[in-house]
A and B are shown apart, each in its own frame.
Chain A
Amino acid sequence: GENVEQHPSTLSVQEGDSAVIKCTYSDSASNYFPWYKQELGKGPQLIIDIRSNVGEKKDQRIAVTLNKTAKHFSLHITETQPEDSAVYFCAASREGNNRLAFGKGNQVVVIP
């Protein structure tokens, strides 16, 4: 099955700086790559996703890049704010079955 790994496990950034989280996946047939944000005591919430037919997608301060050849994708958060502090999960699946395989998560701490 699909195996998704995230690096680093914890990331501390100064408010206003950028944060980058990288994920690698193992199944070359995976073609859907979402990022979820989980705040304490809440369920994960989708923040951005990308499909294999594009290499980059942006939504305001958040962007995701995909390298299918290398089987990795990254989340970029610019101008970080304290409310960006959370655990971020990457996931991968084959579109059409939506059986998401999640990574272990990255704790992002934004220091005011």
Chain B
Amino acid sequence: EAGVAQSPRYKIIEKRQSVAFWCNPISGHATLYWYQQILGQGPKLLIQFQNNGVVDDSQLPKDRFSAERLKGVDSTLKIQPAKLEDSAVYLCASGLSNTGELFFGEGSRLTVL
């Protein structure tokens, strides 16, 4: 079974530029999550989708971050404009339902200069 796919794996941009990350979850998984993992810290939830609807985006900095999950499958996370403090690994995860195991992708590492 294919795992959670993310791209790009690495991205370097200058502050105030924009960036987009893509996630393809495991087939059949209804829930999809974006987490931000700053170096030396645990993952922090940014947004949770159930199918193509947003369940929780309370920790998403909406002035610069946006995410969508069209057709309830793939998802994109966008940052515009980027700040230095956005340097982190952005992890996508999916799950069968609202309970139980989350399956994480390998992440997209963002460096903002």
Chain A residues with CB under 8 Å of chain B are 4, 32, 34, 36, 41-46, 49, 89, 91, 95-105
**Contact residues of A: prevailing secondary structure:** loop
In angstroms, Cα B102 to Cα A44, docked, is: 9
- Sorting the interface of chain B by its residue count into under 10, 10 to 19, 20 to 34 or 35 or more gives 20 to 34
Within 8 A of A (CB), among B42-57: 42-45, 48, 55-56
Asked if B4 is at the interface of the complex by the 8 Å CB criterion, the answer is: yes
Which residues of the partner chain A approach B43 to less than 8 Å between Cβ atoms? Answer: 44, 89, 100, 102
B42 touching A46, Cβ below 8 Å: no
A105 touching B106, Cβ below 8 Å: no
Which residues of the partner chain B approach A41 to less than 8 Å between Cβ atoms? Answer: 106
A-B contact pairs, 22 of them (CB 8 A): A4-B42, A34-B101, A41-B106, A43-B104, A43-B106, A43-B107, A44-B104, A46-B101, A46-B102, A49-B100, A91-B42, A97-B56, A98-B98, A99-B45, A99-B48, A99-B56, A100-B102, A101-B45, A102-B44, A103-B42, A104-B40, A104-B42
B105 touching A98, Cβ below 8 Å: no
Asked if B88 is at the interface of the complex by the 8 Å CB criterion, the answer is: no
Which residues of the partner chain A approach B93 to less than 8 Å between Cβ atoms? Answer: 43
A32 touching B99, Cβ below 8 Å: yes
B42 touching A98, Cβ below 8 Å: no
In angstroms, Cα B106 to Cα A41, docked, is: 7
In angstroms, Cα B106 to Cα A46, docked, is: 14
